[in-house]
Amino acid sequence: MAPNDIIDTLAGIEPGSTLDAIRARRLQARENAQKSYLALFEPIDTSDFSDAERAAVAAFVTGLHGESPVAAFYRDKLAATAEGAPLLDPINAEIERGKTSGPYGAYPAGPLSVENKAGLIYRVGAERKPVLGVRLVAALEHAHLLVFRPRDAASADMKALLAAGWSSTGIVTLSQLVAFLSFQLRVVSGLRTLAAASA
């Protein structure tokens, strides 16, 4: 097992276990997932997207999917820093505010329009905006859009992030982070299900 592999840690995989052997069969995928985690959560340069912002978005996104070892990990990560700890309660409140089921949204007029589905258009609660700040408010709203309404994403959403002080690089990284978290949640859930089935 790779040292400190985040997916192995979150899935509770022990060295030499059956799941360790399964993951070892796809070594490149295992290594690339770890490299993605390190690039997103332990980057050299955080000038476009601070560590606290990354942890806050991660706690929010994973929390929206329900309680899990992954959600607990990112919640702890947020609480572990002086800058992040004051954000924990507001983020938890926003998770509750943003919980819904999806995906939903509207397709352009055409044959897929029959699959259009209305759902929550999430906005951060007014009482928490001063604590979270303009940048993080925009990031949470965008993350919710990507998780639950990806088909509704439009140029106006990019403009909202830019207006909140996000750089183009920061916006790309934010989108990559949300996508990685969705992947990580699915993989860890699948591995834990396999472990339970083989126990």
Per-residue pLDDT tens, the chain, 199 aa: give them: 345 799 999 998 888 888 888 888 888 988 999 999 999 999 999 999 999 999 999 999 999 999 899 999 999 999 998 999 999 999 999 999 999 987 776 666 766 666 666 777 899 999 999 999 999 999 999 999 999 988 778 888 899 999 999 999 999 999 999 999 999 999 999 888 887 777 6
Do the domain assignments include residue 1? Answer: no
Do the domain assignments include residue 169? Answer: yes
Q: Output the pLDDT for position 116.
A: 63
Do the domain assignments include residue 109? Answer: yes
Do the domain assignments include residue 83? Answer: yes
Tell how many helices (H) and how many strands (E) occur in the chain.
9, 0
Do the domain assignments include residue 139? Answer: yes
d(CA 147, CA 110): 23
Q: Output the pLDDT for position 2.
A: 42
Domains in the chain, number:
1
Q: What are phi and psi of 105, to 5 degrees?
A: 135, -170
CATH number at residue 189: 1.20.1290
Q: Output the pLDDT for position 73.
A: 97
Distance of CA 133 to the CA centre of its chain: 19
Q: Which domain holds residue 131?
A: 6-198
d(CA 55, CA 73): 10
- Nearest CA to 1 among 26, 27, 22, 20? 20
Do the domain assignments include residue 136? Answer: yes
The sign one gets for the Cα dihedral 153, 159, 164, 166 is positive
Q: Output the pLDDT for position 1.
A: 37
Do the domain assignments include residue 17? Answer: yes
- Could you tell me the pTM of the whole model? 0.91
d(CA 1, CA 33): 13
**CA-to-CA dists, residue 70 to 76, 81, 101, angstroms:** 10, 18, 19
Question: Cis ω on the peptide bond leading into residue 3 (within 30° of 0)?
Answer: no
- Nearest CA to 59 among 69, 73, 40, 42? 73
Residue 29 CB partners (closer than 8 Å, separation 6+): none
DSSP-assigned letter for residue 105: B
